Amino acid sequence: MQYRTKATVMDGEAISRALMRIAHEILEANKGAGNLALVGIVTRGATLAEMLAARIHEIEGVTVPVGTLDISFYRDDVAIRPNPEVHTTNIPFDVEGRDVVLVDDVLYTGRTIRAALDAIMDYGRPCSVQLAVLVDRGHRELPVRADYVGKNVPSSRKERVRVLLEGHDGVDAAEILEVEGGE
Amino acid sequence: MLSSRHIIDIRDLTTDDIMSILDTAESFKEVNERRIKKLPTLRGRTVINLFLEPSTRTRTSFEIAAKRLSADGVNFSASTSATVKGESLADTAATLSAMACDLVVVRHKYAGAPRILAKHMDAHIINGGDGMHEHPSQALLDLFTMRERAGRLEGLTVGIVGDIAHSRVAGSLVPALRAVGATPIIIAPPTLMPARPDVLGAEAVTSLDEVIGDLDVAYMLRIQMERAEGMPFPSVREYSRLFGMNETRLAKMRSSAFIMHPGPMNRGVEISAAVADSDRSVVLNQVNSGVAVRMAAMYLLLGGEGGGGAA
């Protein structure tokens, strides 16, 4: 199925501002960065986690540990889904007792986050797990909500929401895509 | 997903398939280093280990792999299988099919047995070693270990030393090496060389010392001591002197070269104890890699055929 861009809902500046706001919100909610760790869900969530860590350092002067999490093996649709490209999980710190902020690009059905929660628990027992997403597009299928949201983007199930990041795509943007030739 | 439903011959796999298995195994290797070495990935799937020939390390490796992926594993050994009561392989296949299993790992003393099972079953088949034919999962874990140690596969020169004529390990390893751009050389006395080494697709050499300086990897095959009486060489001692890996030979190899062995080792025959226990030997890495590679093979075979997806 071919998709075309229907609308750009966030440009580079909007993403940068949203990440700065989320960084402030995280610091406020957790009373600083002392017990914080960020875990980005690969691939773009991992990049966003690095971007958030840089802003937290800018605000607080603290280097927050950052890990990456691949949830491929925790998905609930392995049996019906072609194998996704697998990436290596790298959590170079002990999650035990930490306030872990999961970071992802788009929150949709909540199934990725359910898988990420299972995965993170296999590394230890965090004090808390919070969720930061750049875009929340709705259509939840599980009782999952984000603690920190860059932008709420109402969308149709027929559409796709795509986040582009400079490290991967050469540009920072969030777009709604529609099926080529659709109504 | 892999391009083949089964892993019976290494030639069932494309180069992309092989690399996909190795890359996926990297992730499983990380899982095997965690405190909790278990994933929910294959929950609800049934894996049968049908080992109709003695095996410890391969069967255990597959068993651990299935358990770590949360699959339901059932083991049949030669003694517990109805084949000892005269059941044909086709009937065994029909019986296992009726149990609605998803994947069968089979080891059999007869070459071609896994192919017969595949013909009579809907389940995916992994060949855990069939007669003197192939042992593809061993070749895959060997490639993984080589890449891990050398940082590459392309351009490696790998000497496979020993009973090439009867070796299913060599039967899989030679084409696997060729598929990834490495150069296999088979090294054996003429009596242990296949009648048509060119069919295997590797340069054949009858003197280890002649090529030892050119090798990046020396892969020592096990001399089957249980068959030593009927072995086509004068004595085990002589074989060891001419084709065994010892410290003197190791010193003639490149400083980056390393030693492999599929196990179990006959210390003092194809490999000396000093070499086996040295830091130039990656024998235990091979065992360690085995679980991760077999997890990857199971995962990629049992992955879905349809769309769907979470977000």
Q: Which two tokens stand for residue B262?
A: 């599929």
Distance CA B159, CA A22 (A): 57
Q: Which two tokens stand for residue B107?
A: 């080891």
In b/e form, how buried is each residue of B31-55, taking b as 16+ CB within 10 angstroms? bbeeeeeebbbbeebbbbbbbbbeb
Q: Which two tokens stand for residue A61?
A: 């002067």
Mean pLDDT of B168-194: 96
Is the distance from CB of A28 to CB of A54 less than 8 angstroms?
Answer: no
CB-based contacts of A175: which residues, under 8 Å, 6+ apart? A5, A6, A7, A8, A9, A161, A162, A163, A164
A160-164/A173-179 β-pairing: antiparallel
Q: Which residues in chain A land under pLDDT 50?
A: none
Give percent of chain B with pLDDT exceeding 90: 77
Is the distance from CB of B94 to CB of B37 less than 8 angstroms?
Answer: no
CA B210 to chain centre: 27
CB-based contacts of A176: which residues, under 8 Å, 6+ apart? A5, A6, A7, A9, A153, A155, A159, A160, A161, A162
Considering only the beta carbons, identify the residue of A87, A90, A106 that sits closest to B311.
A106
Which of these is catalytic: B108, B135, B149, B261?
Answer: B135
pLDDT at B236: 87
pLDDT at B305: 39
Q: Which two tokens stand for residue A65?
A: 């540990």
CB-based contacts of B7: which residues, under 8 Å, 6+ apart? B13, B125, B126, B127, B136, B137, B297, B301
The pLDDT mean for chain B works out to: 91
pLDDT at B225: 67
Residue A142, chain B, CB below 8 Å: the answer is no
Considering only the beta carbons, identify the residue of A73, A81, A86 that sits closest to B23.
A86
Mean pLDDT of B89-112: 91
Q: Which two tokens stand for residue B276?
A: 């086996």
CA B277 to chain centre: 21
pLDDT at B62: 97
Distance CA B286, CA B297 (A): 16
Q: Give the pLDDT confidence of B34-84 residue by residue, as tens digits.
A: 888 999 999 999 999 999 998 889 999 999 999 999 999 999 876 666 665
Instruction: Please give, rounded to a whole number of angstroms, the shortest distance from the CA of B67 to a CA of chain A.
Output: 14
Residue B306 pLDDT class (50, 70, 90 cuts): very low
Q: How many separate helices (H) and strands (E) can be counted in chain B?
A: 12, 9
Q: Give the pLDDT confidence of B207-230 residue by residue, as tens digits.
A: 999 999 999 999 999 987 665 566
Residue B88 pLDDT class (50, 70, 90 cuts): confident
Mean pLDDT of B88-103: 89
Please say if B43 is a catalytic residue.
no
Q: Give the pLDDT confidence of A13-56 residue by residue, as tens digits.
A: 999 999 999 999 999 999 999 999 999 999 999 999 999 999 99
